[in-house]
Structure formats: structure tokens, C-alpha cells
């Protein structure tokens, strides 16, 4: 039986790699094995050239690692040596894969040095919410962390995140201690959910008809209305992403069109009171129904209000409390007659079929400069939502 040490070694190596995930510490060009095989059979490059009809120059370049062993060459070699064409072809494939792996490792290390420092806090925040593995932040791990972040953002280079994904943030949302990298990650969390979730084709008329039903849900408890909102809006073509808190992003909600038939609506549900939650939900729905499909709308805490944001605010206020003037007058009468703020809010909300949290949230805006009233109203916003459906 024919035997060759090189082949046995490589076959064992290949088997080990397949069985236990062994990874070669270097990229070995198949030309090295061809040189050893020639030695085993006492053949010169010139003799091999004559036998297989390939120039001596090409064979020499294969042995020096300058030329590959092509499929055609592999079949020619199989006629000279008792080694199958697939064996030579797999050697070439393994070499190319190993070479690409080492080149990628080198590139990741370089990118880690150039871009990764900007993502230190962002990576920590992603790890805390379960969207990253939480590797130790050391230079030794920079390559793996960079690769992990690239996969999370769906990019080949973190430069794309900085140059493209965050352009809107740098343009619109400059404020103290806002971490644009983490804001970009927060938006990506929602987009990743939207890409995985199947919803109906967007139906504007159905959404408009559903606004009353959505508003009525505000009378329920969060445990009941959160999943129902997600289901109802999915039937209209909207993916709802309830997102966790991430440090230094100062964001309440966001919406963007994923495709012409699918919308992403994101809401920060980390310790948000119910009044804020419902206002932010209808605010984002206002963007979806009133404004451009090309825009990414990100609504920050206490952000400067543009005309577009005012329109979304007005949409939210009118849909949540359709006749606020009448409701407010009723509240004033009850409060004046009883001098009991809590009772006035509760009775007004009940008579008008409004959530006390929604009414109190609206009134806090009205009386935010009157601390004695504002303090009591804030007691009607005790329920803190802390729920997420991403990662």
C-alpha cells in the first residue's frame, strides 16, 4: 500500500479540524506539499512539467506559492500521484480560507485601534441588554469585539457606522453628553428586530381606523396592553420595538420606514411612566401618518421642537384626549368645587373615558410651572413600564 508522510499528516490535520474545530495557526500554500511529494517520488519540476503538460515556470510558481493549484491542475496531478483531485483542490481551498482569515484578523486589529475606542461605552451598554457577549475590554480582545460589533451593525467596517449610520444624529441631535455611537446602536436594536419580524403590508386606512381602539387600551394595565399594541400595529404593517434603557442616548422614541410596506416604531420602555408612554406612542404614530417616509424620526428627551415635532405632538394630544378644552373645563369645575386635586382628576378621567395617567400627563404639561399642582398630578403617573421585546 502506498504511503506518504505528508499526506497522512495533512489528512490527520483535516480530520482534526473537522472533528474538534481545529484551526491552522498559519496559511500553508499547497505548493509546499507538491514540493514534498516531488521529493518522495524523486521527480524534478522539469519531469513533472513534461508529464502533465504544464510549463516548468508555472509549476515553479506553484511551489513558491505564487500560483494556485487549479481544478485542472489537480486532475493532472492525480494521474501522476495516487492522490485524488479533490485532495489537491481542498488543499488550495484551505489555504485560501486560512489566508483570508489571517488577513481579516489583521484588518480587525487595525480597525480596533482606529475605531473601537469610540465604541467602548456602546459595547458595554449592548452587553448589559444582552445584545453583545460582554468580552473583556482589552487590546487582546479588540479583534473579536470589533468583529462582534460589525456583525451587530451589519457592516464590514465600523467606519460605516460613523460615516453613514450616525449622520442624522450628528446633524440633528447635538447636546451635552449624547453618545451618538450608542444612539446608533439603540436604533440598530430596533432595526434588527424589524428585519426578523413578519408583519402585514402597511395599511394607512386600517391604522387610522384603529386609533380609537389603541386609545381605549390605555385604560388597561401594561401587562395587557403592551402585547396587544404590538399585535394590533403588526396587522397594519408596523413593527413595535419596546427598547431598554441605554446610557447617554436621551431618547423617548423613534420611527423609520424599513421598506415601503413596513414601518419600525421604537419606544423607550425603561422605567417610563404611563403618561409618557402613551403620549410617545401616539407621537410616533403621528410621524408615520403625517410625515415623510424617507426621514428617520428620533424624539429626544426635552428636545427643541421643530414644526414637524409640534405636528406630531398635536396629533398625539388630540387623539388621546379628543376634546381637551371640554375635559379641562370639567376638571377645573371639579377641582374648584371640591378643592381635592386627586378626586378631580380621577372623576374627570372616569367620566370622559380617559386613563388617569393620560389625563394627568396632559395636565402636568398645562401646570408645569405650578409646583403645588404639578407635584400632586405626578402621583397619578406611578406605574413605571420596564419591558422590552428585543435582544
Please tell me the distance from the alpha carbon of residue 297 to that of residue 284, in angstroms, as a whole number: 8
Q: What pLDDT sits at residue 369?
A: 73
Give dist(CA 6, CA 313) in Å, integer: 74
Band of the pLDDT at 5, cuts 50, 70, 90? very low
pLDDT attached to residue 176: 67
Q: Which residues contact 30 (CB under 8 A, 6 or more apart)?
A: 62, 68, 69, 88, 91, 92, 95
Give per-residue pLDDT as tens, 256-303. Answer: 999 999 999 999 988 788 888 999 999 999 999 999 998 888 888 765
124-150 pLDDT tens trace: 999 999 999 999 999 888 888 988 999
48: Cβ contacts below 8 Å, ≥ 6 apart: 38, 54, 59, 80
Highest mean pLDDT among 2-11, 131-140, 376-385: 131-140
Kindly report which listed range (9-13, 35-39, 86-90, 226-230) carries the lowest average pLDDT score: 9-13
Residues 219/293, Cβ–Cβ less than 8 Å? no
Q: What is the average pLDDT across 57-73?
A: 94
Integer CA distances (angstroms), 172 to 35, 61, 178, 288, in order: 62, 57, 12, 19
**Each residue of 84-139: pLDDT tens digit?**
999 999 999 998 888 887 887 777 667 666 788 889 999 999 999 999 999 999 98
Confidence bin at 9 (pLDDT 50/70/90): very low
What are the backbone dihedrals phi and psi of residue 352, each rounded to the nearest 5 degrees, phi first?
Answer: -95, 5
Q: What is the pLDDT of residue 15?
A: 37
Q: Give pLDDT, residue 136.
A: 94
Per-residue pLDDT reduced to its tens digit, 216-241: 999 999 999 999 999 999 999 999 99
Per-residue confidence (pLDDT) for residue 23, from 0 to 100:
57
Determine the pLDDT at residue 39.
93
Q: Give the chain's domains with CATH numbers.
A: 5-100 (1.10.260.40), 115-165 (no CATH), 180-320 (no CATH), 324-383 (no CATH)
pLDDT of residue 112: 61
| Model pLDDT for residues 145-199, shown as the tens digit of each residue | 988 999 999 988 888 887 765 554 444 555 668 888 999 999 999 999 999 999 9
**Residue 365 vs residue 373, higher pLDDT:** 365
Q: Write the pLDDT tens digit of every residue in 345-355.
A: 889 999 999 99
Confidence of residue 16 (pLDDT cuts 50, 70, 90): very low
**Alpha helix positions (H), 53-179:** 56-63, 71-80, 85-114, 120-128, 142-153, 158-160, 167-172
Q: How confident is the model at residue 24 (pLDDT cuts 50, 70, 90)?
A: low
Query: Which residues neighbour 102 within 8 Å (Cβ) at sequence distance 6 or greater?
Result: 26, 27
- Distance, in Å, from the CA atom of 75 to the CA atom of 140, rounded to the nearest integer, reads 43
Amino acid at each position: 500500500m502506498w504511503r506518504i508522510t505528508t499526506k497522512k499528516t495533512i489528512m490527520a490535520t483535516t480530520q482534526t479540524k473537522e472533528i474538534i474545530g481545529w484551526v491552522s495557526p498559519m496559511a500553508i500554500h499547497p505548493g509546499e506539499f507538491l514540493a514534498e511529494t516531488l521529493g518522495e517520488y524523486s521527480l524534478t519540476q522539469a519531469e513533472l512539467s513534461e508529464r502533465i503538460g504544464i510549463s516548468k515556470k508555472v509549476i515553479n510558481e506553484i511551489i513558491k506559492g505564487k500560483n494556485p493549484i487549479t481544478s485542472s491542475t489537480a486532475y493532472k496531478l492525480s494521474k501522476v500521484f495516487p492522490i485524488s483531485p479533490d485532495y489537491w483542490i481542498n488543499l488550495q481551498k484551505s489555504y485560501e480560507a486560512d489566508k483570508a482569515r489571517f488577513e481579516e484578523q489583521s484588518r480587525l486589529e487595525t480597525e480596533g485601534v482606529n475605531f473601537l475606542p469610540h465604541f467602548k461605552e456602546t459595547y458595554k451598554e449592548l452587553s448589559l441588554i444582552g445584545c453583545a457577549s460582554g468580552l473583556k475590554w482589552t487590546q487582546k480582545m479588540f479583534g473579536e469585539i470589533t468583529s462582534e460589533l460589525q456583525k451587530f451593525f451589519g457592516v464590514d467596517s465600523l467606519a460605516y457606522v460613523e460615516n453613514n449610520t450616525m449622520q442624522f444624529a450628528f446633524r440633528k441631535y447635538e447636546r451635552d453628553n449624547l453618545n451618538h455611537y450608542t444612539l446608533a446602536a439603540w436604533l440598530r436594536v430596533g432595526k434588527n428586530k424589524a428585519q426578523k419580524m413578519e408583519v402585514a403590508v402597511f395599511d394607512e386606512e386600517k391604522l387610522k381606523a384603529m386609533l380609537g381602539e389603541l386609545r381605549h387600551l390605555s385604560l388597561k394595565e401594561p401587562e395587557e396592553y403592551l402585547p396587544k399594541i404590538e399585535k394590533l400595529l403588526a396587522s397594519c404593517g408596523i413593527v413595535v420595538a419596546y427598547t431598554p434603557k441605554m446610557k447617554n442616548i436621551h431618547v423617548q422614541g423613534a420611527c423609520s420606514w424599513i421598506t415601503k410596506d413596513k414601518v419600525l416604531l421604537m419606544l423607550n420602555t425603561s422605567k417610563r411612566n404611563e403618561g409618557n408612554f402613551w403620549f410617545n406612542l401616539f407621537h410616533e404614530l403621528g410621524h408615520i401618518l403625517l410625515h415623510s417616509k424617507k426621514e428617520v424620526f428620533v424624539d429626544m428627551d426635552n428636545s427643541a421642537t421643530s414644526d414637524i415635532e409640534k405636528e406630531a405632538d398635536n396629533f398625539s394630544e388630540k387623539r388621546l384626549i379628543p376634546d381637551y378644552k371640554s375635559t379641562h373645563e370639567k376638571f377645573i369645575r371639579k377641582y374648584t368645587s371640591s378643592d381635592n386635586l386627586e378626586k378631580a382628576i380621577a372623576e374627570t378621567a372616569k367620566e370622559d373615558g380617559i386613563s388617569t395617567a393620560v389625563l394627568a400627563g396632559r395636565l402636568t404639561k398645562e401646570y408645569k410651572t405650578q409646583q403645588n399642582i404639578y407635584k400632586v398630578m405626578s402621583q397619578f403617573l406611578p406605574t413605571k413600564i420596564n419591558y422590552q421585546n428585543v435582544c
